[in-house]
Amino acid sequence: MKDDKIEARKIIGDLPTAIIRWYPFKKGSKVLFLGEDGTAADMLRRVFRMQVLASNFEVAEIVEEKFDYIVCLGLIELSYEPLNVLMKIRKLLAPNGKLLLGMNNRLGIRYFCGDRDPYTNTTLEGVENYRHAGKLLGRMYSKSEIKDLLLEAGLVQHKFYSVLPNLEEPTLLFAEGQLPKENLANRLIPSYNYPLTVFMEEEYLYQSLIDNGMFHAMSNAYLIECVEDGNFADALYVTSSLERGIDNAMLTIIHENGIVTKEAAYLEGEERIRQLAENMEILRRVGVPVVDGRLKNGRYVMPYIDEPIGQIYLRELLRKDKEKILEAMDNFREIILASSPVHFGKFTDANDNTGETELFDIGFLDMVPLNSFFKDDTFVFFDQEFSRENCPVGLIISRMIASFYASVPELENVLPRDNLYARYGLLETKRTWLEMEWSFLRTLRKENPLFEYHKKIRRNDALVVANRKRLNYPARDYRRLFLDIFNGLDGKKLILFGSGKYAREFMKLYRVRYSVYAIVDNNADAWGQEINGVSVQSPEILKKLRSGEYKVLICIKQFQSIMEQLEDMGVEDYGIFDPGKSYSVPRLPVATSSVVINKPYHIGYVAGVFDLFHIGHLNILRRAKEHCDYLIVGVVSDRQVREYKKVEPFVPFNERLDMVRSCKFVDEAHEIPIESPDTDMAWKLYHFDVQFSGSDYENDPVWIAKQQWLRERGAEMVFFPYTETTSSTKLKKLIEERLI
């Protein structure tokens, strides 16, 4: 954990340097860095061996010096007189000097998506050009405003680079006039000043901006290169991956001369560049189409290919011809299968379980559509720096499928991805390959070390949906319809409107808490069907019930028409259920006491079979109650015991449930739904602060993953010492021996 924190600090501190780390500075030059003498200034000294003066003083205080380069990132916006500052900066440039300005864009797409202005901490302030703001500590400018400032300051020769996602994480830079030739939703994850207010998924708007000529005008930030001699850097497009850490961070530059260079961002990453060159040569020798490239002066150099990325080609093909997409995916798979000899052997999955399957001698993990071009009627691969010996074939084919669908979710409606998994015989093992892929990506992207950082800057997609809904309703109606859907349900009949996926999700999760009186649907073909023993009927039954006698929960994604239908029928008491949302569930009252005990947690949760209830069970329930104010217990059903543990419980479920409920340490006890028995569903149902378990699971990778999942949501997993002397297994053994 300590090493993770050290690594996270290093990565986070270095991320902003990506905006200039690629730039062709001349070594030994003299640089004025306007800002704190921190990571960026130190990088210029170390990487480019330059004379760097970092200054927090006003530019006017620096006299009689000329600089080859002046770097100013995010500081012009803090000045009350930006024009005067730019004029003073220009005077400090040597005759052929260059100024590099990093500036935010007040018309950046992130702010239209709901992000807060960094200078006023309010939404849409910059978009409206600060007309409602009072005295400002800083402000952003639009692209045209920046250009006007530069021209007035005499900085006539300038070149804009659009920066995404922002100055703090400059992952992509596009020179003015250059447009992305891939789906950017695959390439970056947006980040925000205040993600809690975001109500749109920014990455899915880029293509519309491109198509309508708005991409550069609405970039979130800019790097502006100002020169006196007309000699600009020759970069057209720059990508960086500093979030991968020193061993894997790369810089890729597309140059004006049609050459693409890829280099390690740190010396420690040069081995990865060599591995890239070696992997590309291996693929070339076995006949896999690859972009020609070679190592030159520590960089991997290759020609620019002006053809569509494989991802884009496949996406457009799917929209035009479903049959041809299957043929194209088959061809892609055949190329993957030709990349290495295949043998049968053992492998270890993401949960450290072993199995046997077909293995590549060498598997190339990035043989995905995003890392290919479609040229001359075939897929031509690039950027294959990651390989693994004895790699499962299923993992690579699964990556081909999963990566294709990752950035274009609507394609699922045209061709469900499970059709492809089934086509290639991977449907039954799909979860294994997806877990292995996520483990690879999570490690590569440093998700664990950067977890706390990402939690602060990345949006929560469920909250995005909630924010969008909130825009359409007054605050009171929004809370009634979408948040407090269980309020006022006591003593009323609960009726679900809809018999599809949402209704089944509701029954799977909440039927243990709420009895469903009826399910209604407009589709006559669904009438008479049953969901968990509840019959689907016509909405006409609502007319037979008295107002105030029932509450309706709409379980349909497109709920607006159902709302209108219910209101036309005079139904006022209804809510809208979303299976992706977590709800506040009313609780049983907690007994009051004159003695106030401060416990570390408020709501606790324990799950178990509790067969042959014994001292071990009592110990964990007692310990749990000592650590929380309110204890909820989930009890495993007989069917789940049979299917998962492959044994028959000695004590029937209803008796086990009654015994647990009778324990004085337990506030609530319920059946664990067999369709959703795991921690994630329990947390969605009960919103507990902590789950308690026995220490026999403390080092189990599956339970460690559950603990991490809870921590990501502000909850915890606590392990109590296992009672060695008594267990249900031991008791069963004694009973069986005596019966024999």
User: How many Å apart are CA 423 and CA 433, to the nearest integer?
Assistant: 15
pLDDT of residue 60: 47
What confidence tier does 462 reach under pLDDT thresholds 50, 70, 90?
Answer: confident
Q: What tokens appear for 273 in the block?
A: 């560049």
pLDDT of residue 593: 47
DSSP 643: I
Q: Which amino acid is at 614?
A: H
pLDDT, average across residues 546-559: 92
pLDDT of residue 306: 92
User: How many Å apart are CA 603 and CA 710, to the nearest integer?
Assistant: 14
pLDDT, average across residues 436-461: 91
Residues 98-110: tens digit of each pLDDT: 999 999 999 999 9
Nearest-5° Cα angle at 14, 13 to 15: 100
Phi/psi for 35 (5° steps) reads 150, -170
User: How many Å apart are CA 126 and CA 106, to the nearest integer?
Assistant: 5
Please tell me the CATH superfamily of domain 601-736, with its number.
HUPs (3.40.50.620)
Question: Does the pLDDT of residue 489 top 70, yes or no?
Answer: yes
pLDDT of residue 188: 87
User: How many Å apart are CA 409 and CA 398, to the nearest integer?
Assistant: 16
Neighbouring-strand partners of residue 716: 690
pLDDT of residue 702: 80
pLDDT of residue 595: 45
Q: Please give the share of the chain, as a percent, with pLDDT higher than 70.
A: 94
The sign one gets for the Cα dihedral 666, 668, 669, 674 is negative
Neighbouring-strand partners of residue 375: 378
| Nearest C-alpha neighbor of 519 from the set 538, 539, 544, 536 | 536
pLDDT of residue 650: 84
pLDDT, average across residues 311-331: 88
What confidence tier does 698 reach under pLDDT thresholds 50, 70, 90?
Answer: confident
* Three-state SS at 17: helix
CA 6 to centroid of chain Cα atoms = 23
What is the residue-averaged pLDDT of the chain?
89
- The number of helix segments (H) and strand segments (E) in the chain equals 25, 28
| Nearest C-alpha neighbor of 459 from the set 125, 115, 700 | 115
What confidence tier does 128 reach under pLDDT thresholds 50, 70, 90?
Answer: very high
pLDDT of residue 405: 87
pLDDT, average across residues 149-153: 97
pLDDT of residue 587: 56
- Name 396's Cβ contacts closer than 8 Å, sequence gap at least 6: 336, 360, 363, 364, 365, 367
Do residues 253 and 261 make contact, with C-beta atoms less than 8 angstroms apart? yes
- Name 471's Cβ contacts closer than 8 Å, sequence gap at least 6: 199
User: How many Å apart are CA 247 and CA 716, to the nearest integer?
Assistant: 32
User: How many Å apart are CA 610 and CA 46, to the nearest integer?
Assistant: 62
What confidence tier does 437 reach under pLDDT thresholds 50, 70, 90?
Answer: very high
Residues 335-353: tens digit of each pLDDT: 999 999 999 999 999 888 8
pLDDT, average across residues 682-689: 86
DSSP letter string over 325-389?
HHHHHHHHHHHHHTTS-EEEEEEE-TTS-EEEEEEEEEEETT-SGGGEEEETTEEEE-----EEE
Question: Does the pLDDT of residue 181 top 90, yes or no?
Answer: no
pLDDT of residue 547: 85
What confidence tier does 37 reach under pLDDT thresholds 50, 70, 90?
Answer: confident
Neighbouring-strand partners of residue 608: 635
Question: Does the pLDDT of residue 651 top 60, yes or no?
Answer: yes
pLDDT, average across residues 446-454: 91
pLDDT, average across residues 244-252: 95
2-245: CATH, from 3.30.70, 3.40.50, 1.10.1740, 2.60.40: 3.40.50
Q: What tokens appear for 415 in the block?
A: 């061709």
User: How many Å apart are CA 563 and CA 540, to the nearest integer?
Assistant: 15
Question: Does the pLDDT of residue 740 top 50, yes or no?
Answer: no
Q: Which of 268-282, 316-330, 418-432, 493-507 has the lowest mean pLDDT?
A: 316-330
Q: What tokens appear for 666 in the block?
A: 């337990």
Q: Which amino acid is at 169?
A: E
What confidence tier does 666 reach under pLDDT thresholds 50, 70, 90?
Answer: very high
SS3 readout for 118-142: CCCCCECCCCCCCCCCCCCCCCCEC
Length of the chain: 740
| Nearest C-alpha neighbor of 400 from the set 379, 385, 428 | 379
Neighbouring-strand partners of residue 359: 343, 392
Residues 556-591: tens digit of each pLDDT: 988 999 999 999 999 989 999 998 777 766 555 554
60/229: higher pLDDT = 229
SS3 readout for 533-570: CEEEECHHHHHHCCCCCEEEEECCCCCHHHHHHHHHCC
pLDDT of residue 733: 57
User: How many Å apart are CA 665 and CA 720, to the nearest integer?
Assistant: 16
Question: Does the pLDDT of residue 138 top 80, yes or no?
Answer: yes
Question: Does the pLDDT of residue 314 top 50, yes or no?
Answer: yes
Question: Does the pLDDT of residue 2 top 70, yes or no?
Answer: no
pLDDT of residue 432: 94
**Most confident of the following: 124-138, 281-295, 309-323, 403-417:** 281-295
pLDDT of residue 58: 61
Nearest-5° Cα angle at 733, 732 to 737: 115
Helices 679-686 and 501-510: angle between axes, nearest 10 degrees: 80
Residues 192-215: tens digit of each pLDDT: 999 999 999 999 999 999 999 999
DSSP letter string over 254-281?
EETTSEEEEEESSGGGHHHHHHHHHHHH
Q: What tokens appear for 7 in the block?
A: 């690594």
Question: Does the pLDDT of residue 594 top 50, yes or no?
Answer: no
User: How many Å apart are CA 232 and CA 737, to the nearest integer?
Assistant: 86
Q: Are strands 601-608 and 574-576 parallel, antiparallel or unpaired?
A: unpaired
- Each as own residue / partner, the long-range contacts of residues 293-298 (CB below 8 Å, 24 or more positions apart, any chain) are 293/382, 298/263, 298/264, 298/270, 298/273
Q: Model pTM greater than 0.85?
A: no
User: How many Å apart are CA 287 and CA 692, to the nearest integer?
Assistant: 55
What confidence tier does 113 reach under pLDDT thresholds 50, 70, 90?
Answer: very high
pLDDT of residue 616: 83
CATH number attached to the domain at 473-576: 3.40.50.720
Question: Does the pLDDT of residue 331 top 90, yes or no?
Answer: yes
User: How many Å apart are CA 274 and CA 705, to the nearest integer?
Assistant: 34
pLDDT of residue 592: 47
What confidence tier does 12 reach under pLDDT thresholds 50, 70, 90?
Answer: very high
